[in-house]
Amino acid sequence: MSDSPYRLAVVVASTREGRFGPTVAGWFAEQTAQRTDIDVDVIDLADHPLPVNLSSDPGPEAAALLAKVSPRLAEADAFVVITPEYNHSYPASVKNLIDWHYTQWQAKPVGFISYGGLSGGLRAVEHLRPVFAELHAVTIRETISFHSPWGKFDENGRHLDEEAGTAAAGAAKVMLDQLTWWALALREARATRPYGN
């Protein structure tokens, strides 16, 4: 089982007009394309708006929207959240996605890629860590952050600065290696002994 690729759900968190998230997602797609141990499923929240009124018994319209996302989260063995930093934290869209789900996150690892101004979005990541801990998910220590990245990538998500691009690719490898260890270990553990809280 551990030899088969694991399923990685990549969540593009920003839904803001003119957002930079797809550029970062394009860059990350290049990093994951080099690996044969990962099957990637990109969940762009701009394409999957969820209702803001949470319910334990969603109506037909809300259930139809959730049906496009919830099974993909459930099937994932690991997650990477690509998030900007808005007002010292993460966007409401990703919190809404998180709050609509519970068991889908349990006993799975979560990695982060952030972007923003001088902080590179790292405050958003630090706010997300305790949220995922509450959901019994394991967050990966190593992160990737892009500080003031606008104008530093081409239209395909390639870094224009070769040295910075090499450093970012190195950071991606470290994070993905850690994520892979946790994804495979926890996938085997869930298969052997279903997780309960």
Contacts of 38 (CB under 8 A, 6+ apart): 5, 6, 8, 32, 176, 180
Average pLDDT, integer, range 145-159: 90
pLDDT at 132 over 80: yes
pTM listed for this prediction: 0.95
pLDDT band at 2 (very low <50, low <70, confident <90, very high): low
Average pLDDT, integer, range 25-29: 96
Per-residue pLDDT at 3: 72
Per-residue pLDDT at 147: 94
pLDDT band at 197 (very low <50, low <70, confident <90, very high): low
The CATH number, out of the four listed (3.40.50.360, 3.40.605.10, 3.10.510.20, 3.30.450.40), of the domain defined by the range 6-192: 3.40.50.360
* 45 residue type, one letter: L
